[in-house]
Amino acid sequence: MKNVLITGSTGFIGSHLVEANLKKGNRVRAMVLPGDPGGERLAKKKGVQVVSGDVRDYDSVKRACAGMDIVFHCAAVVTDWAPKALFREVTVRGTENMCRAALAANVSRFVDMSTNDVFGIDEKNVMDETFPLRRWGEPYPDSKIEAERITWRFHREHGLPVTMVYPCWVFGPGDMTFVYPLAEAIVKKDLLFWRRDVIVWPAYIENLVDLLMLISTDERAVGNGYLVHDGEYVTLQNFCKGIAAALGAPPATLHIPYFAAYAVSFVMEMIWKAMGKKERPLLTTYVVKNLGSRFKFSIDKAARELGWRPKIAYSEGFARTMEWLKTLGVEKTTAK
């Protein structure tokens, strides 16, 4: 039995991590932002201690880390539309606070949630964990790169037992970040594409959590990072076609040129920033780049070093996700 701290515990990945650790018999401490309603739900679970805290506040982070064996650091600004200062405060400085506090608590493992985005924009090569960190010129991936460099510095200079994970396109039941917005756009007939045969690498949530649980205790994982996906890719068009079929909606077929989508997103961002709008524009340059790419990623390292392979096939994960999606009634509430 381990004492485990999870930041970002009310989020999609964090909430699944809570369940996996409880199932394993670990004692979970969930750090929750003050006022987050998800904290009340977690507090009702046996074996979960909810503590109020903010990664921007070192004192609260230090209290949360005290007495912990394992830290899963999932908290970050997970959006493509927020003030750059917020990315610096939460994703970058928040990670530095977590590293300092975890080091002071003498934890046995610090598992840091990165992203496959940190390896940059490269369609010529199959990217793996040996690739250098390369900036996008976008706040989300670039702030994750800065945070990762800080984490590795704590490992090199202070011996913090770090393991990094690079999830690709995480999806599954409860996913309100990718699957639900796509479903909403499909039903509203608002979805369009700007490049044909765009590649996405799905990482079903249970596969990701399975690897996270493994690397949190396997000594071979210390000082290493691991890409994770379901072992196969799917085109964005076919992913969306599957959503449409599950909801009984017509599939999206409209395509516009990439350069037109990028130009529109650039102009929209300029206008939104000038007007000080907090809600995100319909298109952002990050989304156009990310959902207009044909990147390739290898997960051979996890198989080679740890013997890990995805337990749930993409097709099964997608089917489970569609069953969950149909319970939300998106085809009724958003139809025009």
Three-state secondary structure readout of 90-112:
HHHHHHHHHHHHHHHCCCCEEEE
Query: And the tokens for 303?
Result: 């198989």
Would you state the pLDDT for residue 80? 87
Q: What are the two backbone dihedrals, phi and then psi, of residue 164, each rounded to the nearest 5 degrees?
A: -105, 145
CA–CA separation, 114 and 227 (whole Å): 9
The residues spanned by each domain of the chain are 3-172+201-232
CA–CA separation, 87 and 76 (whole Å): 8
CA–CA separation, 333 and 104 (whole Å): 49
Would you state the pLDDT for residue 280? 87
Stretches in the chain below the pLDDT threshold 50: 335-336
Would you state the pLDDT for residue 335? 46
Query: And the tokens for 17?
Result: 């991590």
In the chain, the largest separation of any two C-alpha atoms, in whole Å, equals 57
Would you state the pLDDT for residue 220? 97
Query: And the tokens for 125?
Result: 């090569």
CA–CA separation, 102 and 68 (whole Å): 8
Q: How far is CA 290 from CA 34, 57, 272, in A?
A: 32, 32, 20
CA–CA separation, 109 and 223 (whole Å): 10
Would you state the pLDDT for residue 332? 67
Q: How many CA atoms lie within 13 A of 242 on its CB side?
A: 18
DSSP-assigned states of every residue in 284-328? -HHHHHHTT---EE--HHHHHHH----SS-HHHHHHHHHHHHHTT
- Return the residue matching tokens 């998800």: 38
Q: What are the two backbone dihedrals, phi and then psi, of residue 179, each rounded to the nearest 5 degrees?
A: -65, -50
241-264: burial string, b at 16+ Cβ within 10 Å, e else: bbbbebbebeebeeeeebeebbeb
Please provide the CATH number assigned to the domain covering 3-172+201-232: 3.40.50.720
